[in-house]
């Protein structure tokens, strides 16, 4: 059985709710597509935001589309430490008791009350492909990465959906720790 998986580094980014998108860019605003991403329908937008916590800012954080149910800011722990925030490690969408942050567009500044997370590393997998690999939604696996900075990531959550494509996603800290440049390869063990 082939259990190889491509690994993508997911840099800091923002998902906006339609409501927050319109607050920041104006009524009826639609994000401009810059690049399609590995998961069908998902794209990196041309638009970026500056984010601010206390006196610290990070400029030019990419917005990903399409709009989500709730605004969510995904940072690396390195980013979080710089911003003096302490967000939990969470699966996307699980935003209970997460810190808020200030979002700044060229037109407007808004404060979200919650939504900052460090993404839990996970593997997107098409439902039937997962079955073939002996995996299902919620299964936790380890993934071994070879090379100079060889690492095994444990606690990697499988997320299945009929539209998903097989990709593991890690943040920049994890990618850098494993010596991965942009894309890497791993093996589910």
Binding mask 142-171 for its own copies (x = CB under 8 A): x-----xxxxxxxx--------------xx
Q: Does 176 bind its own copies (CB under 8 A)?
A: yes
Q: Which of 14, 8, 24, 15 lies closest to 107, judged by CA?
A: 24
Least distance CB 176 / its own copies (angstroms):
4
| Rounded CA separation 15/74 (Å) | 8
178 in contact with its own copies (CB under 8 A): yes
Please tell me whether residue 116 binds its own copies under the rule CB under 8 A: no
In the complex with its own copies, the residue whose CB is nearer, 67 or 188, is: 188
Cβ atoms within 10 Å of 63's Cβ, excluding its own: 24
Q: Is 137 in the site for its own copies (CB under 8 A)?
A: no
Which residue number, 68 or 121, has a Cβ lying nearer to its own copies?
121
User: What number of chain residues touch its own copies (CB under 8 A)?
Assistant: 24
2: Cβ–Cβ under 8 A, 6 or more apart, which residues? none
Q: Is 110 in the site for its own copies (CB under 8 A)?
A: no
Phi first, then psi, for residue 42 (nearest 5°) are: -80, 140
Counting contacts by CB under 8 A, is residue 78 touching its own copies? yes
**Does residue number 17 form part of the binding site for its own copies (CB under 8 A)?**
no
Joined tokens for residue 166: 């097989």
- Closest distance of CB 146 from its own copies, Å: 8
Cα-atom radius of gyration of the chain, to the nearest Å? 17
Nearer to its own copies, 16 or 118 (CB): 118
Give the pairing of strands 56-68 and 13-17.
Answer: parallel
Residue 160: its H or E element: strand 151-161
Summarize as ranges the residues that interact with its own copies (CB under 8 A): 76-78, 81, 89, 121, 142, 148-155, 170-174, 176-179
């Amino acid at each position: 059985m082939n259990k190889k998986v491509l690994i993508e580094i997911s840099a800091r980014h923002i998902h906006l709710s339609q409501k927050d998108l319109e607050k920041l860019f104006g009524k009826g605003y639609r994000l401009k597509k810059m690049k399609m991403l590995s998961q069908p329908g998902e794209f990196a937008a041309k638009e970026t935001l500056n984010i601010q916590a206390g006196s610290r800012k990070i400029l030019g954080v990419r917005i990903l589309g399409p709009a989500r149910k709730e605004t969510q800011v995904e940072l690396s722990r390195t980013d979080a430490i710089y911003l003096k925030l302490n967000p939990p490690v969470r699966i996307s969408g699980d935003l209970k008791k997460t810190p808020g942050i200030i979002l700044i567009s060229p037109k407007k500044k808004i404060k979200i009350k919650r939504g900052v997370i460090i993404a839990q590393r996970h593997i997107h997998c098409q439902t039937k492909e997962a079955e073939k690999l002996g995996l299902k939604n919620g299964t936790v696996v380890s993934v071994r990465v070879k090379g100079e900075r060889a690492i095994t990531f444990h606690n990697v959550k499988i997320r299945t959906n009929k539209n998903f494509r097989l990709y593991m996603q890690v943040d920049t800290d994890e990618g850098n720790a494993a010596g991965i440049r942009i894309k890497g390869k791993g093996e589910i063990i």
